[in-house]
Amino acid sequence: MPHDALFPDHFLFGGALAGNQYEGGFDQGRKGLSIVDVEPAGPERKEMLEHPKKYLQVRDDLYYPSHRAIEFYDHFKEDIRLFGEMHFSALRISIAWARIFPNGDETEPNEEGLKFYDQVFDELEKYHIEPVVTISHYETPLGLVKMYGGWSNRKLIDFYLRYAETLFKRYGNRVKYWMSFNEINCIVTSPFIAGALVLDDVPNKKQAIYQASHYELVASAKATKLLHELVPNAEMGCMLAFSPFYANTCKPEDQIAALQQNRVTLFFGDVHARGCYPSYMNRFFKANGIELEITDEDRKVLRENTVDYISFSYYMSFTTDADQRSLLANEVFEPVKNPYVEASDWGWPIDPVGLRYALNLLYDRYQKPLFIVENGLGARDEIEPDGSIHDDYRINYLNDHLVQVAEAIKDGVDLIGYTTWGPIDVVSAGTGEMEKRYGFIYVDRDNKGNGSLERRKKKSFDWYRDVIDSKGATLNLSKETIK
Ligand code: P53
């Protein structure tokens, strides 16, 4: 059934990437090592992320996928041209902090690193693609871990601000939408990735995690203040990994369990959007022996510098019940299986309606514009004998999610845009694999780093361009929705 456009004219449509997952060139242009550069692929990755202490230097016997990634550092013109061909109006990228401050604590930035992004922005401008920039995407300079203990140290706030100020001054005239920390809430489950924390020998890990979170939240608020002073028209967003929790049954205790699980994530949105710590955290802090060092000045900075918009990644929903141990109370979480949704090849629940739910929940709570800055399907792709790649599973995933995004807009949600994760195949953040692919563009490189790096359009490439051109009029609306 033909239908009208579903998205407004000014809606930003495009893709999202993170420097460490596609740039490569890990030691080019005087770049320093970042924490990702010591995260190996293969079975050691999980061990490294849980017990990083022994892994803080590059070893000859391990393979580090970030070092070369898909070598965007050398291919950026070709890749951006392809995004232009899909008629992207936005591309979310991150700046690799260690390209700008190789060790993290220098007083002067590295000009070569700054020049690289000048060129990237020039290229984006050519195709009228608006850059959306994450300041810190899981890539804290390794030097800040070794010398200062990562975000366990209040000093990181000043290093971060020096870096942010450098970016605002250099690129402020070219970038409107900024994000302070990628998936800031992931520090709770991935303290090394999201907080550059080495907690091997720390007895009360939660104390360390929430203190580091506090420093990141203060850094985010201070960066927001600085951005508003230096670039009045620019906007700062917080960025959450949002996988909403459903209660497994209508049993009241199950509802409380789901409420609590959602608060693990919403805490970070609450501080960013409302400017103060929500009272529900007091009980949790007390129960876990957490005492945070929070100064009066911190409270003032948080209160006076709330974010302009809320951005988030959405891949899946989870289901929980009262028998599950809440993340707020415990460390281990095993989701309950939801019989109404399918799962990806990597076991991630696939729930398009959950995206409508998430959008409505966040908009009800914050009443600020939202921006979906990651959504997509990681899957194995097969190349047919004629060279084509029929990724209908990816098209179906994105189609069904976009239909629900359109429903949320009809529900009244104010949405800035939608960028799919990994418009070109990149290294997986979680597993370090290349073969967990999200792209519209296939990259010939495998899990061990072999391959020609050739770029090849998948079936989804033309499909996404048509969705963008038609503002959603080509989407397939065959499934029933609740009005
Ligand atoms: P990969 C877990 C759950 C939800 C989002 O993830 C996550 C993660 C971490 O793995 O991270 C975001 O590559 C992140 C991206 C990442 C993307 O999701 O593990 O912001 O850097 O690549 C997809 O499949």
Ligand 1 pocket, residue 182 CB under 6 Å: yes
Q: State if pTM tops 0.95.
A: yes
* Nearest CA, atom 2, ligand 1: 430
For residue 278, give Cα distances in angstroms to 268, 339, 368.
Answer: 10, 33, 18
DSSP strands (E only) in 49-191? 90-94, 130-136, 177-181
Ligand 1 pocket, residue 92 CB under 6 Å: no
* Nearest CA, atom 5, ligand 1: 241
Determine the distance separating the centroid of ligand 1 and the alpha carbon of 65, expressed in angstroms: 15
Question: From CA 176, how far away is CA 132, in angstroms rounded?
Answer: 7
Burial 52-77 (b: 16+ CB within 10 A, else e): beebeeeeeeeebbbbbbbbbbebbe
Q: For residue 147, is pLDDT > 80?
A: yes
Determine the distance separating the centroid of ligand 1 and the alpha carbon of 68, expressed in angstroms: 19
Taking residues 158-183, report their average pLDDT.
98
Question: From CA 69, how far away is CA 339, in angstroms rounded?
Answer: 37
Q: For residue 111, is pLDDT > 80?
A: yes
Question: From CA 135, how far away is CA 93, in angstroms rounded?
Answer: 9
What pLDDT score was predicted for residue 2? 79
**Site to substitute for ligand 1 among 45, 50, 138, 186, most atoms within 8 A of C-beta:** 186
Query: Residue 10, class by beta-carbon neighbours within 10 Å (0-12 exposed, 13-18 middle, 19+ buried)?
Result: exposed
Specify whether the CB–CB gap between 15 and 418 falls below 8 A. no
Ligand 1 pocket, residue 241 CB under 6 Å: yes
Ligand 1 pocket, residue 65 CB under 6 Å: no
The pairs formed by 385-390 with CB atoms below 8 angstroms and a separation of 24 or more are 387/456, 388/459, 389/442, 389/456, 389/457, 389/458, 389/459, 390/458, 390/459
Ligand 1 pocket, residue 338 CB under 6 Å: no
What pLDDT score was predicted for residue 328? 53
Residues recognised as catalytic = 183, 374
**Site to substitute for ligand 1 among 428, 431, 433, 435, most atoms within 8 A of C-beta:** 428
DSSP string, 209-274: HHHHHHHHHHHHHHHHHHHHHH-TT-EEEEEEE--PEEESSS-HHHHHHHHHHHHHHHHHHHHHHH
Question: From CA 270, how far away is CA 443, in angstroms rounded?
Answer: 39
Ligand 1 pocket, residue 218 CB under 6 Å: no
Taking residues 189-205, report their average pLDDT.
96
Give the pLDDT confidence of 400-438 residue by residue, as tens digits.
999 999 999 999 999 999 999 999 999 999 999 999 999
User: Which ligand 1 atom sits closest to the C-alpha of 421?
Assistant: 17
User: Which ligand 1 atom sits closest to the C-alpha of 18?
Assistant: 21
Taking residues 283-304, report their average pLDDT.
96
Taking residues 128-143, report their average pLDDT.
98
CA 231 to chain centre: 24
Among residues of the chain, what percentage have pLDDT more than 70?
98
Domains of the chain: 12-469 (3.20.20.80)
DSSP assigned state of 343: E
The residues, any chain, with a CB within 8 Å of residue 76's CB and separated by 6 or more, are 119, 120, 123
Among residues of the chain, what percentage have pLDDT more than 90?
95
Q: For residue 222, is pLDDT > 90?
A: yes
Identify the residue whose tokens are 């079936």. Answer: 459
Q: Using 50, 70 and 90 to split pLDDT, how confident is the model at 335? A: confident
Nearest to 29 by CA among 91, 92, 119: 119
Ligand 1 pocket, residue 436 CB under 6 Å: yes
Strand partners, 312: 240, 372
What pLDDT score was predicted for residue 473? 98
The residues, any chain, with a CB within 8 Å of residue 113's CB and separated by 6 or more, are 29, 30, 31, 96, 99, 100, 102
Taking residues 343-361, report their average pLDDT.
97
User: Which ligand 1 atom sits closest to the C-alpha of 428?
Assistant: 13
Taking residues 88-105, report their average pLDDT.
98
What pLDDT score was predicted for residue 332? 54
* Nearest CA, atom 19, ligand 1: 430
Question: From CA 365, how far away is CA 253, in angstroms rounded?
Answer: 22
* Nearest CA, atom 11, ligand 1: 429
DSSP string, 222-233: HHHHHHHHH-TT
* Nearest CA, atom 17, ligand 1: 429
Average pLDDT over the chain, rounded to an integer? 96
Q: Please name the amino acid found at residue 80.
A: I
The residues, any chain, with a CB within 8 Å of residue 245's CB and separated by 6 or more, are 257, 258, 261, 262, 317, 318, 319, 320
How many beta carbons lie within 10 A of that of residue 227, not counting itself? 24
Q: For residue 330, is pLDDT > 50?
A: no
